[in-house]
A and B are shown apart, each in its own frame.
Chain A
Amino acid sequence: MLKVENLVTRFGSVVAIDGVSMTAQESKITTVIGANGAGKSTLLRTISGLEHPASGSITWKGQSILGKRPEEIVRLGIAHVPEGHAVISELSVEENISMGSLFRRNKYKSDVTAAMDEMYALFPRLKERRKQLAGTLSGGERQMLAISRALVSRPQLLLLDEPSLGLAPLVVEQIIDSVNTLCRTTGLSVLLVEQNANTALGVADHGVLLALGKVVADRPASELKADATLRAAYLGY
């Protein structure tokens, strides 16, 4: 379980997250929604160690992970898929996925191959293209690839940043469905950042609404979905 308390992250004089406290519950999908610039991505990047917070605490399974390097946080079981299809275009599909399990090769040799097979089963299109360079893939395929890379590290918490960005609705649906299934079948906890609040609240168990770096609402997703005033005020629909 991930617990964030009073987290503050600054970029120079700009305060991106201003005292955010929230929890990502085990085996549930928690979604962080809000308008552009609300601080959602910064929150994920601070959790995964790419950004350093000015103050506050981040606790994972009872231990503080504040100040740890991203590569160490991955090894503790948190995998981050940053926004923008974070894959390496110059490497092949297979190599991109392998990257995610490199650090497990010593200890869990057999599981590494199993993990990769699972990804190919989850996303058959990737298996077809496994020798191709990632740069030749479509947007949706690249997003699947990025998620695969994160999943082969066998995380307990998946940080997913705006998976729908730039993708057609049908593809988005497919991806979100896959993630949802994963959560329900394997117990993977998911922290999903999305601008498309409707889609996100459709699969999530819990929702956190951010505005200008602060938490405005922290409720079960069904309640948020039903609250028309809140939606109109912060989400514009």
Chain B
Amino acid sequence: MNTFLAALSSGTSRGAIFALVALGLVIVWRGAGIVNFAQMGQAMFSTYIASTLITNGNSYWIAFFVALISGAVLGALLDILVMRPLSNKKQSELLSSESMRAAVPVIASLGILGALQALAGIIWAAEERGFPAPAKQEGFNFAGNVLPFTSFDLFVVSIVTVTLIITTLFFTKTGIGLAMRATALNQEVAKLSGIRTNRTRTISWAISGAASSLAGLLITPTANLSPNSLDLVLIVGFTAAVVGGLDSPAGAVLGGFILGMVISFVTFFSTPEDVFLAILAVLLLVLIIRPRGILGSKDARRV
């Protein structure tokens, strides 16, 4: 019973983080029409920046906010320096084919991921380093028993919930949110409405960058920080987004929690090696049975 509860609580807090990662992917997908594989590389980089600040004596919270800002800045830079020139490139025989047009941004984001990981290795070396948590990692004390739910878990779930609420409101109730959705759905009509589509896309990247930095900051305390430490998170985040529906923020949350639970239970009741296979199984299951994702709209598969 205890293991079950432990798995449940671990699944919840992990699920919250995966939801965040998936959300970042969904934001870029909805805002810019591509899947950003470099996302966790950005997160890793921001977390390293935070780590450096902490090592130099700054408080966790200062480092936290600097990391979020640097994540946003990094995201914006990537859009301006790489993605925008890419989408402006009309001349090329290569890009006349449907599949290459879809593949090229993916390849670019993979290149960015590689560059960020290599850069992190050069700046900070590949040794793993720890990363602090702002809250205790011991379980709560309740009626004399120690619950498998820690205050850090609570912190994670609260922050993610707040972020999700803010994001949903942002997309549906604000002008910028509308501009972002319009840009993603039909760039031409958006432009003809006076929306500055380039700027809007950059904002999507910045927000996504901040969200993924947040995810990186939240998950790293339970693991260790190294240039490749967040690779697994990317895979899970991607799967979560696909499971939930690539164009649905609510789906991202749902997918994140489903995957969090799956991974948690597999880890607790089977061996850690099975985790990757479990993720693969979930991914294939969704793609075969309901390709658009649980909450995805019919157009979610539009590439």
Contacts and interface: CB of A to CB of B under 8 A. Distances in A.
**A–B contact at 8 Å CB threshold (below):** yes
A95 to B, nearest CB: 6
Given A88-B186, A90-B299, A82 B179 contact: no
A196 to B, nearest CB: 23
A50 B175 contact: no
Contact of B195 (A90, A95, A103, A150): A103
A80 B195 CA distance: 13
A14 B189 CA distance: 25
B58 interface: no
Contacts of B297: 90
B289 interface: no
A198 B175 CA distance: 41
A48 B189 CA distance: 12
The interface size bin for chain B is 10 to 19
A99 B191 contact: no
Interface in B255-303: 297, 299
Interface residues of A, number: 28
B154 interface: no
A206 interface: no
B104 interface: no
A25 to B, nearest CB: 23
B176 to A, nearest CB: 8
| Chain A CB within 10 Å, residue with most, of B175, B188, B193, B195 | B193
A72 to B, nearest CB: 8
Contacts of B192: 48, 50, 70-71, 74, 79-82, 86, 150
Given A98-B178, A102-B175, A102-B179, A71 B194 contact: yes
Nearest to A69: B191
A71 B197 contact: yes
Interface of B: 175, 178-179, 181-182, 185-186, 188-197, 297, 299
Interface of A: 48-50, 69-71, 74-75, 79-82, 86-88, 90-91, 95, 98-100, 102-105, 149-150, 153
15 contacts: A48-B192, A69-B191, A71-B191, A74-B191, A74-B193, A81-B192, A88-B185, A91-B182, A91-B185, A98-B175, A99-B178, A100-B194, A102-B194, A103-B194, A149-B189
Q: Lowest 7 CB-CB distances: which A-B pairs, in order?
A: A74-B194, A103-B194, A70-B191, A99-B193, A100-B193, A86-B189, A71-B191
